[in-house]
Each structure stands twice: as C-alpha cells, then as structure tokens.
Amino acid sequence: MKKNKQVFNNVLELVGNTPLIKLNKITSSLKGNYFAKIESFNPGHSSKDRIALYIIEEAERKGILKPGDTIIETTSGNTGFSIAMVSVIKGYKCILAVSSKSSADKIDMLKTMGAQVYVCPAHVSADDPRSYYEVAKRLHRETEGSVYINQYFNELNIDAHYHTTGPEIWNQTEGKITHLVACSGTGGTISGIAKYLKEQNKDVQVIGVDAYGSVIKKYHETHEFDEKEIYPYRIEGLGKNLIPTATDFDIIDQFIKVTDEESAHTAREIAKTEGLFVGYTSGAAMQALKQLNEEGTFNENSNVVVVFPDHGSRYMSKIYSDSWMNEQGFFDSQHEQEETAQSI
Ligand code: PMP
C-alpha cells in the first residue's frame, strides 16, 4: 500500500493512502478549517477498494478463500466494482446482486470488470426473497466454493477503515482533527475511522450523515427500529432500511439528515468551487457541513475532516445531467436562475 514508488506490481498496490485536500471556497462562509478525504483517488475510484481488499485478504489468510472460488456480494455499485477489481487480479469469480436503484453506468462497469450481475428490485423489504440481500444469500447457498462478503453485517468492514483510513486521517492532520463528518451506509467507514480517532483523542466529535427515508438516525437516538422512517429516496449508498451491524452506533456522537435535492446541488457546487468532481454522497456530506455550521457545531478553531466517498463520473446520467435534475424537479426558481446564468 505504498504510493511513493514509480512502478507498481499491480493495481491493488495503489489502494489507500488517499489525499486530504483543504476546502477553500465552498467553506469560505463557514467557521473553521475544512479538509476532504478524497476517496476517488483509490484505483477503483471509491473508499470501497479498502474493504474489498481487506476482507478478501483476511479470508485468504484464514484459508476460507481458495484459488478459483467465487466471491458474492450485495452492493449499490461501488463495493461490487472494488470486489470485481480485486477478483480480476487475484483470480476469483465474482457474482453481484445489485439494487435496481443503481445507475446503468454502474451496472455496465461491473460487467466490464468481469462480474456476473443480478439486478434486484429496490423498493422491497430486506427479507423479501426478491431483495438483493436474499438473492445473494440464495446464490451463496447454491454456489459451491463461494464466499459471501456481506458488508452490512461484517465487522471486517469496520476493521478495514480502522487499520487504514483512520490512521491516514490522524497522520495527515497531525492529530489536530476536531470533527469527523462521514456518510453512513453500511457504517463501516465512519465506525472504523471513529474507533481509531477516538483511541487517539476521545474528544474528536464524530457526525454521521443519513438520508431522509432511512432509519439510521432515528435508531441512533431511540434504539428502536421505526418503519415509519422508511420511504424511497434517490441518493445511492447513503442511509438504510435496516440496521447494519457494521455500524458501531455507540462511537458516533450524532447523525444529521440531508435531502436528495440539496445534496445534488451541493455536489455540483463542489465541482465549480473546488475543482473536485465527486459523487452524490460527497454532496450529501458537504451539505451536512453547511447544516452543522448553521447549527453552531463549529468554531474558528475547528479542524473538520469530511469524507468524499467516490468519483463524479459514476453519476453522469443522474446529478450531473441537467435533464435528470429537471425530471426530479430539482431546478426550483433559485437554482434554475443560477444554472441559466452560468450557461449564457
Ligand atoms: N457513499 C457511497 C457512494 C457509497 O456507496 C457508500 C456505501 N454504501 C457510502 C457512501 C457509505 O459508506 P459506508 O458503507 O462505509 O457507510
């Protein structure tokens, strides 16, 4: 996992050690200093490279994975891409059950990387036999010599970030980080980083970003699973309709919810202000920073690290398409004016 050499033996040697980049313009009216952990610099263009490599190598170490075996996973796209990439290099077959909410681009990319893809309906409950969880479990039962990664219920997901992303952020900020803000899907990213950071300094504040339509924030506050919280939303990879055991709720101080619309506009704003072309959940995380600032969470001495999980190229047919934005009704009068002004 070194990036200071000129020639690499294979693409997997480039996983991790992503840059931390100071945010300047988009944060100019916010109190404190802001730094983004740019996970699109991983070779598979997302933070999921870390967990794919870590979990597969742990399975190899334990003798669970043998040459020629099959790796199975449920995924909104990024984890699948990373597992497919690792499988290509290490010689495993890869089967992925994905949600129909995933963009067509993501599904095509998985196939390009040699994965066998099953597209499953998005808006059914997790225990429905058609859900991507149940389809993956069935395929695992039916496929001899298969390993099910199960990122939502695999504590190695937390360990991957505890051993890599957490120490990287601590070292890059020279221990001066005061707040971590990260999206929560499986919860592996935020939980693993938080565990490492809080071991170094228990005062680091950890704030998770959740979606309207997801149960995570409410569960954190009440320890109850409230079905009424669940309804369809557009952001892929943020929040959940179940409680993942890869989320360590005790280590997270607070969750904040963001909307599909504001997150989409904020992702577009990141590109125009910071020159960073990032994914939908990066927009969500940045939107959370704005809301937290308004709530008075930060002061002049705050050193805030926000995780930007993936690359914008995966959302060309969604948030970076004007017609998609229009179809969602996301160009309200204020935003429409801004966009029109820019295109003149
Ligand atoms: N952003 C994107 C684009 C994702 O795919 C995911 C994972 N589902 C996340 C953020 C959240 O990361 P984690 O699963 O580690 O909580």
In the chain the domains, ranked by start, together with CATH numbers, are 11-41+164-331 (3.40.50.1100), 47-148 (3.40.50.1100)
Residue % of the chain over a pLDDT of 70: 95
Report pLDDT for 342: 60
Q: Residue 76: which pLDDT band, with cuts at 50, 70 and 90? A: low
Residue % of the chain over a pLDDT of 90: 83
At 72, the amino acid letter reads: I
- Digit-coded pLDDT (tens) for 220-267: 999 999 999 999 999 989 999 899 999 999 999 999 999 999 999 999
- 210-215 average pLDDT score: 98
Name residues contacting ligand 1 (CB within 6 A): 76, 78, 183-190, 237-238, 279, 281, 309-310
Q: Kindly write down the DSSP assignment for every residue of 285-313, as one continuous string.
A: HHHHHHHHHHTT---TT-EEEEEE-BBGG
- Digit-coded pLDDT (tens) for 80-91: 999 999 999 999
- Long-range interactions of 55-60: CB distance < 8 A, separation 24+: 55/149, 55/151, 55/154, 55/156, 55/157, 55/160, 56/83, 56/86, 56/87, 56/90, 56/92, 56/149, 58/156, 58/159, 59/147, 60/90
How many degrees, rounded to 5, is the angle at CA 246 between CA 163 and CA 16? 30
- Digit-coded pLDDT (tens) for 312-344: 998 998 999 999 999 999 997 566 545 555 654
Q: What atom of ligand 1 comes closest to residue 282's alpha carbon?
A: 1
Distance from C-alpha of 159 to C-alpha of 311, rounded to nearest angstrom: 23
Residue owning the nearest CA to atom 5 of ligand 1: 237
The 10 Å Cβ neighbour count of residue 228 is 7
- 138-166 average pLDDT score: 94
What is the rounded end-to-end Cα distance, in angstroms, of the chain? 46
Specify whether the CB–CB gap between 85 and 52 falls below 8 A.
yes
CA of 185 to the centre of ligand 1 (A): 5
Query: CA–CA distance from 144 to each of 18, 72, 93, 139, 151 (Å)?
Result: 37, 11, 12, 9, 20
CA of 340 to the centre of ligand 1 (A): 32
Distance from C-alpha of 32 to C-alpha of 25, rounded to nearest angstrom: 13
Catalytic pick among 2, 22, 48, 90: 48
- Digit-coded pLDDT (tens) for 164-207: 999 999 999 999 999 999 999 999 999 999 999 999 999 999 99
Specify whether the CB–CB gap between 287 and 258 falls below 8 A.
yes
Specify whether the CB–CB gap between 235 and 102 falls below 8 A.
no
2 assigned to active site:
no
- Evaluate if residue 110 carries a pLDDT over 70: yes
- 129-143 average pLDDT score: 92
- Extended beta strands in 39-115, E state: 70-75, 93-99
What number of CA atoms fall less than 13 Å from residue 343's CA on the CB side?
7
- Digit-coded pLDDT (tens) for 88-102: 999 999 999 988 877
Q: Residue 291: which pLDDT band, with cuts at 50, 70 and 90? A: very high
Q: What atom of ligand 1 comes closest to residue 76's alpha carbon?
A: 5
Q: What atom of ligand 1 comes closest to residue 187's alpha carbon?
A: 16
What length does the chain have? 344
Distance from C-alpha of 331 to C-alpha of 172, rounded to nearest angstrom: 38
CA of 207 to the centre of ligand 1 (A): 15
Residue owning the nearest CA to atom 6 of ligand 1: 237
- Evaluate if residue 145 carries a pLDDT over 90: no
Distance from C-alpha of 111 to C-alpha of 160, rounded to nearest angstrom: 25
